[in-house]
Chains A and B, each alone.
Chain A
């Protein structure tokens, strides 16, 4: 299998099918946790870890449990529970392993359970049919690359948006536009800018 496949999966998920601006998933943390760039970085790191590990686990669950038993119709509820369990495990591990990391990421971990981008990427990895195209084993690698690219895309967009919002705090914005209204306008312009990247890959 050519390494180009992984590169294309990462770039495509990161820029062309950006999880926030093109698929409109994870908009809640995008607007909620982007007021300061420090919080945006913390949230991005937590999302990146859970999205990649969550994608691997849900992929394995789908192809080794749900499909053999012909119970793929429960995939959504199964994926939600697997992601929620993973978040609990990660939080527990971080509590034990690293005080510093817990202080940095601890607050963002409960928020991730309600982040639909994680579930969306897990579902997309199945719907894209990587297993049919590359086989279950190699398909998992492509799905993981795609999840990593989506997480990078989320991090890129939320960080860029947070820096713009920090700048907007100091800008002379009409009262009616202050806060969320001007942020939504900025998000719309960012989405338009990302449309320009279509066709790269």
Chain B
């Protein structure tokens, strides 16, 4: 059981690490994804969609 718990924790740590690194990486200037692509998408769980609806 311990190898399973250790593996899951290592992979969760890997995910958190990559998530935080990605979040801290600045978006390129003038490269915000266009809202046109969002208009034709119906996935409402997407973060981009929610942000654009808030704006």
Chain B residue nearest to A104 in the complex (CB): B33
Q: Mark A66-78, 1 if CB is under 8 A from B, else 0.
A: 1001110110011
Number of residues in B with C-beta < 8 Å to the partner?
33
Q: Report whether B37 and A95 are in contact in the complex, using a CB–CB cutoff of 8 Å.
A: no
B residues in contact (CB < 8 Å) with A: 3-4, 7-8, 11-12, 14-15, 17-19, 21-22, 25-34, 37-38, 40-43, 45-48
Find chain A residues with CB under 8 A from B37 CB: 36, 38-39, 42, 107-108
With A35-B42, A85-B19, A110-B48 given, name 10 new contacts (CB 8 A).
A36-B40, A78-B7, A78-B11, A92-B21, A95-B27, A99-B31, A103-B28, A107-B34, A111-B41, A114-B45
Q: Report whether B47 and A73 are in contact in the complex, using a CB–CB cutoff of 8 Å.
A: no
With most chain B CB atoms within 10 A of its CB, the pick from A42, A65, A88 is A88
Bound complex: CA A103 to CA B42 (Å): 19
The one of A65, A84, A107 that contacts B15, using a Cβ cutoff of 8 Å: A84
A residues in contact (CB < 8 Å) with B: 28-29, 31-33, 35-36, 38-39, 42, 65-66, 69-71, 73-74, 77-78, 81-82, 84-85, 88-89, 91-92, 95-96, 99-100, 102-103, 106-108, 110-111, 114
Q: Report whether B43 and A29 are in contact in the complex, using a CB–CB cutoff of 8 Å.
A: yes
Q: Report whether B19 and A32 are in contact in the complex, using a CB–CB cutoff of 8 Å.
A: no
The one of A38, A82, A110 that contacts B47, using a Cβ cutoff of 8 Å: A110
Find chain A residues with CB under 8 A from B40 CB: 33, 35-36, 39
Chain B residue nearest to A79 in the complex (CB): B11
Find chain B residues with CB under 8 A from A65 CB: 7
CB B40 to nearest CB in A, in angstroms, measures 4
Chain A residue nearest to B26 in the complex (CB): A95
Bound complex: CA A29 to CA B30 (Å): 26
The one of B15, B25, B41, B46 that contacts A39, using a Cβ cutoff of 8 Å: B41
Find chain A residues with CB under 8 A from B32 CB: 103
Bound complex: CA A33 to CA B15 (Å): 26
CB B29 to nearest CB in A, in angstroms, measures 8
CB A50 to nearest CB in B, in angstroms, measures 13
Find chain A residues with CB under 8 A from B41 CB: 32-33, 35, 39, 111
The one of A38, A69, A107 that contacts B33, using a Cβ cutoff of 8 Å: A107
Chain A residue nearest to B47 in the complex (CB): A110
Find chain A residues with CB under 8 A from B8 CB: 74, 77-78, 81
